[in-house]
A and B are shown apart, each in its own frame.
Chain A
Amino acid sequence: MSTPGLLRTALASNSGPSALRCLSSTPTRRFRDSAPRRGNFTTDSYPEIKRDPRFSQITAEHVAYFRDLLGKDSALVDGVTADVSADDMEPYNGDWMRKYRGHCKLVLKPASTEEVSRILKYCNDNILAVVPQGGNTGLVGGSVPVFDEIVVSTSRMNQIQSFDEVSGVLVADAGVVLEVADQFLAEKGYLFPLDLGAKGSCHIGGNVATNAGGLRLLRYGSLHGNVLGLQAVLPNGTIVDDLCTLRKNNTGYDLKQLFVGGEGTIGMITAVSIQCPQRGKAVNVAFLGAESFEKIQQAFREAKSQLSEILSAFELMDSYSQDMVHRVRQNKRPLDSEHPFYCLIETTGSNSEHDAEKLEKFLEDVMSRDIIADGVLAQDETQIKSLWSQREGITECVGHFGGTYKYDVSIPLKDLYRLVDDTRERIEAAGLKGDTDEFPVVEVVGYGHMGDCNLHLNVAVRRYDKRVEEVLEPFVYEWIGKINGSISAEHGIGIAKKKYLGFSKNDTMIDLMKQIKKLYDPVSFYMASFNEATTTNT
């Protein structure tokens, strides 16, 4: 196992969190609500991960350099030469799931690409480990330190640089919060081509660095297509300035794609330019119940053929996930009757009458053919929001009891839900699931982006417990490897999935990735390769 500190740019790190839909925008509240206030240190939970002693310890001299560079006290949180209250440092050290927690003592908040460049160069020269961090909403432990890595936060790089109202191209700093960007675009009649539950906290730089997927990938496609250009800083301080605003640009290797989804391992993204689609004025949402997963698949096929160009989301939820939402929120359920599966269908278009007619025809059709057992159609904006919250609220509600083991996987559609059943059976057979406090597992739930073959398998736990982890891993990854699925659909690799990369990428692919790592981040590459052989992580 390796992963010792290596320039954590190198290591998992996402530059920003990003993350995925889950989590709603108010994590702090949730921390207060549920049981353990703070997670264990990652170094205690995973003692096999060792700090590489060749990385330097941060000294007062280093801090002085950074203070001088950034120019003001508010641009750094300094726990090296001064006492910093735990509350000030904690948000940078821990992830919101309370699964990972580092020992960081220094947070830097540069305000420009040039400052990032000088920071990274200095760290590279002095062998100081670094973790880029955005809104810290990641789900794989990629945006938080493990040891005493320096956190480089994008939070002060938060300006929207330009927007072209004709082409719809937005250029913005990496630290702009996704929801802020989307609201800015809404005023102009445009839409950010990415939407996820964490939109109120996550930074767009982190979204791009982790190639976040989200709720509307089905309609608007992945960031690999929508990101037109970006600006990034390599570990040695080189500024990669490729802030192109053109849709077509076939001039050699498309190097920016290495940073999209590269999780900060070869550089830190500081600005992006993104192609934004027109915002649809007419939005309709239906919430449907079905008697089996086969019926849901049928409904999906019908939705694609009958709603085609206006279909903007098709989300799957099992009854266990909806029971959790109901249990935590005590709210009214959308449907009077209960069903093993639910789906949420959203249409977005430019003409509400045209859309409503199409949607109604579709709904009548699937109802009359017994594909769908029951359903509701939102009659106003408020109902649209509350139906969406049945889907978006799952992550938060699942985490309510203490923690969540999360698996974000791509599986061919026909086998998609079988993984949840198999996992639940395994957990039950191990006697880990029950209603009282002695059982670590509360429930095993499945939901996700049906339209993208992307399942979220979540195991809600009262506390993180090695026994649970041993039952789940590598079982889940082997299961996925067998059917040629992906062990990480949209959350990334981070620290959580590093050792399982081999289930989704063959040796040649991993080797090629290592070559790229070696090329752009030689310092941490050589560090890493000293520790037993291992995957460099993506």
Chain B
Amino acid sequence: MSALRILVPVKRVIDYAVKPRVNKAQTGVETAGVKHSMNPFDELSIEESVRIREKKRAPGGVEDICAISAGPAKSVDILRTAMAMGADRAIHVETADGDEGALEPLTVAKMLRAVVDKEKSNLVILGKQSIDDDAAQTGQMLAGLLGWPQATQASRVEFKGDSIEVTKEVDGGVETVRAKLPMVITTDLRLNEPRYASLPNIMKAKKKPLVKMSLSDLGVANERKLKIIKVTEPAPRQGGGKVEDVDGMISKLKELGAL
């Protein structure tokens, strides 16, 4: 097996713990002044890549771990986090802030294909979906564009001889698939537990190379095939009521016509 050149796409999204709110114009969710962090699935991709290197799991070793993100200027923060967790370098494909910069999965997949060619990557590990759009398409489209095998929703990645075995959780059990390099793997929640970014590594990450480029540098245009018409919040849940005692319960049931 040749040495691994891993490409790890990461996305800056509204923090998992923050409750998103629809903006006033109902064209999307409010992003200004809201805490953003790395898409949780992408943390798993970085962690897995770093572990493959640290535990020397790949017979040919790991030559390069490169994180890439397409997004507004602030995406640099999560690329620094990726490098603090152990990526060697990063590429930032800068897009406009706000809606006009938003990319559809196919555009992202085309961009990634161009980067794979440029960086001579032979393994792409990416989250199975991002928690903002929940499209869960990019990995599959990328594999299709490259003509590479894909193993989606990985909960375990093992190196066996010259091939990689990926275990994925499916309804009612697990499924194990095997393929040879080059390949695309998408990650699922049980794959690993991402590490904290340590202070020495955060400092080191500041000195690691970060290259900026644009979509046009990669020969990709931001074509939009979908138009968002409206975004609305789910209807508020009817809260349950509490009764204090049996009498309260009975009168409530009577009031509702259940008795």
Determine if B202 and A377 form an interchain contact, defined as CB atoms under 8 angstroms apart: yes
Residues of B6-25 whose CB lies within 8 A of A:
15-18
Name the A residues within 8 Å of B203 (CB-CB): 364, 367
- Extra pairs beyond A381-B16, A382-B16 (5, CB < 8 Å): A74-B244, A287-B196, A334-B196, A376-B198, A380-B38
1/0 per residue, CB under 8 A from B, across A338-381: the answer is 00000000000000100000001001100100001011111111
CB distance from A358 to the nearest CB of B (A): 15
A84 at the interface (CB under 8 A from B): no
Determine if B199 and A375 form an interchain contact, defined as CB atoms under 8 angstroms apart: yes
Known: A73-B245, A74-B244. A381 touches B199 (CB 8 A): no
CB distance from A126 to the nearest CB of B (A): 27
CB distance from B137 to the nearest CB of A (A): 24
Name the A residues within 8 Å of B38 (CB-CB): 379-380
Determine if A372 and B199 form an interchain contact, defined as CB atoms under 8 angstroms apart: yes
Chain A interface, >50% SS class:
mixed
Which of B16, B18, B193, B198 has the most chain A CB atoms closer than 10 A to its own CB?
A: B198
Known: A364-B203, A367-B203. A381 touches B198 (CB 8 A): no
B200 at the interface (CB under 8 A from A): yes
CB distance from B33 to the nearest CB of A (A): 6
CB distance from A361 to the nearest CB of B (A): 11
Name the B residues within 8 Å of A288 (CB-CB): 199
Measured CB to CB, the nearest residue on chain B to A337 is B198
Give the complex CA separation of A301 and B17 in angstroms.
Answer: 32
Name the A residues within 8 Å of B202 (CB-CB): 360, 363, 377
Give the complex CA separation of A332 and B196 in angstroms.
Answer: 10
Known: A74-B244, A74-B245, A381-B15. A352 touches B199 (CB 8 A): no
Give the complex CA separation of A379 and B83 in angstroms.
Answer: 12
B81 at the interface (CB under 8 A from A): yes
Top 7 nearest A-B pairs by Cβ distance? A381-B17, A380-B37, A376-B196, A74-B245, A375-B199, A74-B244, A381-B15
Which of B18, B40, B202 has the most chain A CB atoms closer than 10 A to its own CB?
A: B202
Determine if B199 and A363 form an interchain contact, defined as CB atoms under 8 angstroms apart: yes
Determine if B200 and A367 form an interchain contact, defined as CB atoms under 8 angstroms apart: yes
Measured CB to CB, the nearest residue on chain A to B243 is A74
A383 at the interface (CB under 8 A from B): yes
Which of A336, A380, A381 has the most chain B CB atoms closer than 10 A to its own CB?
A: A380
Give the complex CA separation of A331 and B248 in angstroms.
Answer: 45
Name the B residues within 8 Å of A383 (CB-CB): 196
CB distance from A84 to the nearest CB of B (A): 15
Name the A residues within 8 Å of B35 (CB-CB): 281-282, 352, 380-381
A335 at the interface (CB under 8 A from B): yes
Give the complex CA separation of A376 and B16 in angstroms.
Answer: 20
1/0 per residue, CB under 8 A from A, across B233-255: the answer is 00000000000110110000000
Name the B residues within 8 Å of A336 (CB-CB): 198
Determine if B15 and A376 form an interchain contact, defined as CB atoms under 8 angstroms apart: no
Measured CB to CB, the nearest residue on chain B to A376 is B196
Interface residues of B (CB under 8 A from A): 15-18, 33, 35, 37-38, 40, 81, 193, 196-200, 202-203, 244-245, 247-248
Give the complex CA separation of A74 and B18 in angstroms.
Answer: 38
Which of B16, B37, B200, B248 has a CB less than 8 Å from the CB of A374? B200
CB distance from B194 to the nearest CB of A (A): 9
Measured CB to CB, the nearest residue on chain A to B37 is A380
Give the number of residues in A that approach B within 8 Å (Cβ atoms): 31
Name the B residues within 8 Å of A363 (CB-CB): 199, 202
CB distance from A325 to the nearest CB of B (A): 15
Chain B interface, >50% SS class:
mixed
Determine if A374 and B33 form an interchain contact, defined as CB atoms under 8 angstroms apart: no
A72 at the interface (CB under 8 A from B): yes
Measured CB to CB, the nearest residue on chain B to A75 is B244
Give the complex CA separation of A282 and B18 in angstroms.
Answer: 12
CB distance from B46 to the nearest CB of A (A): 11
A385 at the interface (CB under 8 A from B): yes
Give the complex CA separation of A281 and B15 in angstroms.
Answer: 13
Determine if A377 and B200 form an interchain contact, defined as CB atoms under 8 angstroms apart: no
Determine if A72 and B244 form an interchain contact, defined as CB atoms under 8 angstroms apart: yes
1/0 per residue, CB under 8 A from B, across A71-86: the answer is 0111100000000000
Give the complex CA separation of A198 and B242 in angstroms.
Answer: 23
Name the A residues within 8 Å of B198 (CB-CB): 335-336, 374-376
Residues of A252-297 whose CB lies within 8 A of B:
281-282, 286-288
Give the complex CA separation of A487 and B161 in angstroms.
Answer: 66
Measured CB to CB, the nearest residue on chain A to B201 is A376
Residues of A368-424 whose CB lies within 8 A of B:
372, 374-383, 385, 387
Known: A74-B244, A379-B38, A379-B81. A281 touches B33 (CB 8 A): yes
Measured CB to CB, the nearest residue on chain A to B36 is A380
Give the complex CA separation of A385 and B35 in angstroms.
Answer: 14
Determine if A378 and B244 form an interchain contact, defined as CB atoms under 8 angstroms apart: no
Give the complex CA separation of A389 and B200 in angstroms.
Answer: 23
Which of A281, A332, A374, A379 has a CB less than 8 Å from the CB of B199? A374
Give the complex CA separation of A377 and B85 in angstroms.
Answer: 11
Measured CB to CB, the nearest residue on chain B to A384 is B17
Measured CB to CB, the nearest residue on chain A to B203 is A364
CB distance from B76 to the nearest CB of A (A): 12
Which of A286, A375, A379, A382 has the most chain B CB atoms closer than 10 A to its own CB?
A: A379
Name the B residues within 8 Å of A74 (CB-CB): 244-245, 248
A and B contact pairs by CB, cutoff 8 A, 22 listed: A72-B244, A74-B245, A281-B35, A287-B196, A332-B193, A334-B196, A336-B198, A360-B202, A367-B200, A374-B198, A374-B199, A375-B199, A376-B198, A376-B199, A377-B196, A379-B38, A380-B16, A380-B17, A380-B37, A381-B15, A381-B16, A382-B16
Determine if A380 and B15 form an interchain contact, defined as CB atoms under 8 angstroms apart: yes
Determine if A381 and B37 form an interchain contact, defined as CB atoms under 8 angstroms apart: yes
